[in-house]
Amino acid sequence: MSRPIVATIHQQALRQNLAIVRQAAPHSRVWSVVKANAYGHGIARCWQSLAETDGFALLNLEEAILLREQGWKKPILLLEGFFHSDELALLDRYRLTTSVHSNWQIHALAKAQLNAPLDIYLKVNSGMNRLGFRPEQVSAAWNKLRLLDNVGEMTLMAHFADAEKPDGLIEPLRRIEQAAEGLDCPRSLSNSAATLWHPEAHYDWVRPGIVLYGASPSGQWQDIASTGLKPAMTLSSEIIAIQQLSAGDGVGYGYRYHATGEQRIGVVACGYADGYPRHAPTGTPVMVDGVMTRTLGAVSMDMLMVDLTPCPQAGIGSKVELWGEQVKIDDVARAAGTVGYELMCALAPRVPVEVI
């Protein structure tokens, strides 16, 4: 590696975060959500640290097959089910549990030639109007599926649009109750926010994602600061150049920052082509040589600038943490007008990754 940027994946943090999920939902089994290449952490790198889980949930067949080929034998849930009926042969071969959210999938299951029944998750539209059957359609869908030889165990599944709010589940849970009326069914409803903050929605299987990676489902690090959750990814780099500014000097594209007096700044080998958000404004938190400071001016493709005023000892080669244990990804994301989810998923392929 020549360029000093690196993403470090912390296996111990992944293990600890899963243990915290278990404590939060002690009576539920856990689908660890590893979609989007384990939220940018790398599914092949991460799954063994999460192997205490009861199952993995994701949505790419390729990722499911990779898990099987690497030796994972326990359940895998396809969160969006199959996208075309010809995928059913692979679901059968790799023994994948599938969500069923639309009538065409029921017809496809009825017609498929399978070696053994597939377990299914029937999805209820809890009100967010993304995937799933409306509550009044659920019992008909359930009964159709129950009659199919191709269908094994059935679970009712829903997803929440607003689970970080204290009263965000009232209306969705009412709709799910309506859907489940008269059905004797296991349920899987809870994402990270509901797993942490709504024990009334835990039921049989929870489906946490973001908390496994040590970021907040609400976008506010303070909301999870006391849980013991640990960031699973550190993005770090180094200072590669120093500039000495005088009053009025501009910094970076568009001169979006101007010095008001003498000021020493550092140039960091990290830019938006590495996954750092280009929208992060002057003042976004960053740590240099163990000291919290701030970014200055626009983020470039390959570099960004930082204020060295609080850390006069810093120089070429000083360590920079863009996010991780000290600089919370939630805080960087908030400064840039987004959420930690997007930043971790957007880690660029050109960034070397080490696992410790």
Annotated catalytic residues are 35, 253
Q: Which residue has the tokens 């943490």?
A: 321
Q: In which element (H, E) is residue 99 found?
A: strand 97-100
Binding mask 137-166 for ligand PLP (x = CB under 6 A): ----------------------x-------
CA distance 157 to 146: 15
Nearer to ligand PLP, 20 or 270 (CB): 20
Closest CA to 105 of 56, 58, 160, 148: 148
Query: 61 to 80, contacts with ligand PLP by CB under 6 A?
Result: 79
Stretch that binds ligand PLP, among 208-216, 249-257, 258-266, 342-350 (CB under 6 A): 208-216
Q: State yes or no: residue 101 binds ligand PLP (CB under 6 A).
A: no
- Count of CB atoms situated within 10 Å of the CB of 337: 11
Nearer to ligand PLP, 135 or 208 (CB): 208
Nearer to ligand PLP, 79 or 286 (CB): 79
CA distance 136 to 147: 19
How far lies 201's CA from each of 168, 198, 316, in Å?
Answer: 11, 6, 51
- Contacting ligand PLP (CB under 6 A), which of 208, 252, 271, 277? 208
Stretch that binds ligand PLP, among 61-69, 201-209, 313-321, 347-355 (CB under 6 A): 201-209
Query: Tokens for 59?
Result: 């949505």
Stretch that binds ligand PLP, among 205-213, 219-227, 253-261, 282-290 (CB under 6 A): 205-213
CA distance 50 to 11: 9
Q: State yes or no: residue 293 binds ligand PLP (CB under 6 A).
A: no
Q: State yes or no: residue 214 binds ligand PLP (CB under 6 A).
A: no
Helix pair angle (170-180, 135-146), 10° resolution? 40
The CA angle 241-246-250, to the nearest 5 degrees, is 70
CA distance 34 to 58: 5
Closest CA to 129 of 84, 171, 188: 171
Q: How far is the CB of 205 from ligand PLP (least distance, A)?
A: 10
- Contacting ligand PLP (CB under 6 A), which of 40, 55, 81, 209? 209
Q: State yes or no: residue 217 binds ligand PLP (CB under 6 A).
A: yes
Q: State yes or no: residue 335 binds ligand PLP (CB under 6 A).
A: no
Q: State yes or no: residue 192 binds ligand PLP (CB under 6 A).
A: yes
Q: State yes or no: residue 33 binds ligand PLP (CB under 6 A).
A: yes
Would you call 251 helix, strand, or coil by DSSP? Answer: strand
CA distance 67 to 56: 9
Binding mask 162-191 for ligand PLP (x = CB under 6 A): -----------------------------x
Q: Which residue has the tokens 């958000």?
A: 277
Number of residues that bind ligand PLP (CB under 6 A): 11
Q: In which element (H, E) is residue 207 found?
A: none
Q: How far is the CB of 192 from ligand PLP (least distance, A)?
A: 3
Residues in contact with ligand PLP by the rule CB under 6 A: 33, 35, 79, 159, 191-192, 207-210, 217
